[in-house]
Chains A and B, each alone.
Chain A
Amino acid sequence: AQTVTQSQPEMSVQEAETVTLSCTYDTSENNYYLFWYKQPPSRQMILVIRQEAYKQQNATENRFSVNFQKAAKSFSLKISDSQLGDTAMYFCAFISGYSTLTFGKGTMLLVSP
């Protein structure tokens, strides 16, 4: 069974600074996908970024980038130039084949002025 671990229940950062959220996972699969989802107070789950395991290049989406270390089974999210609107719960998630999505417990990120 796959597991996803987010070891930081809460993080805080000041506006315009950079913050990194950690995520590790455990799997015996070789082909899989990793995601970061953002859940703001509205509760909607918003896809932030995705990474295919077979791609060595780290995914980037504007201010969001990942550091994917396949051998270490690590998938951290870096948010650059943090904005107040980035305040949310962030979930790391894993899926392989036609399995269900496995979530971490989430990291609450607070961006302060």
Chain B
Amino acid sequence: GAVVSQHPSRVICKSGTSVKIECRSLDFQATTMFWYRQFPKQSLMLMATSNEGSKATYEQGVEKDKFLINHASLTLSTLTVTSAHPEDSSFYICSAREDESSGNTIYFGEGSWLTVV
């Protein structure tokens, strides 16, 4: 199956700093990528939909100025958590969608654990 790579898998940062997480589709072009946050023992919460070459679409309640998403190419989307706070500590996971002709399947990255100290 298609492979999506997410980096870094774990990151620790200080309060007030920014951290960037990358999501790459390795063997297919993804016009659409998604960013999720997952709290312990819960399902994935969609944060935003990232479309190549255009602005991301954020879900209600997600601060777009805090969670900056860039989808500059068909294989790369980035999530930057700006001015991080301890409450931003979480598991973040991205996904990329194959086009409908390939089955409309969504593949996930390995996820990133963010700890803000």
Contact = CB atoms under 8 A, between A and B. Distances in A.
Given A45-B93, A98-B100, 10 more contacts: A37-B108, A43-B111, A47-B108, A52-B103, A91-B44, A100-B46, A100-B49, A101-B34, A105-B42, A105-B43
B103 A33 contact: yes
Q: What is the interface of chain B mostly: helix, strand, loop, or mixed?
A: strand
B105 A106 contact: no
Contacts of A45: 44, 93, 95, 108, 111
A104 B95 contact: no
B95 A44 contact: no
Interface size class of B (residues with CB under 8 A): 20 to 34
A33 B32 contact: no
Given A47-B1, A95-B104, A95-B106, A101 B43 contact: no
A71 B81 CA distance: 43
14 contacts: A33-B103, A35-B106, A43-B91, A43-B93, A44-B108, A47-B1, A47-B105, A47-B107, A91-B43, A97-B100, A98-B100, A101-B106, A103-B44, A106-B43
Interface in B81-117: 91, 93, 95, 100, 103-111, 113
Interface string B31-50: 01010001000111010010
Contacts, number: 51
Interface of B: 1, 32, 34, 38, 42-44, 46, 49, 91, 93, 95, 100, 103-111, 113
B32 A98 contact: yes
A86 to B, nearest CB: 18
Nearest to A43: B111
B95 A101 contact: yes
B105 A33 contact: yes
Contacts of B113: 43
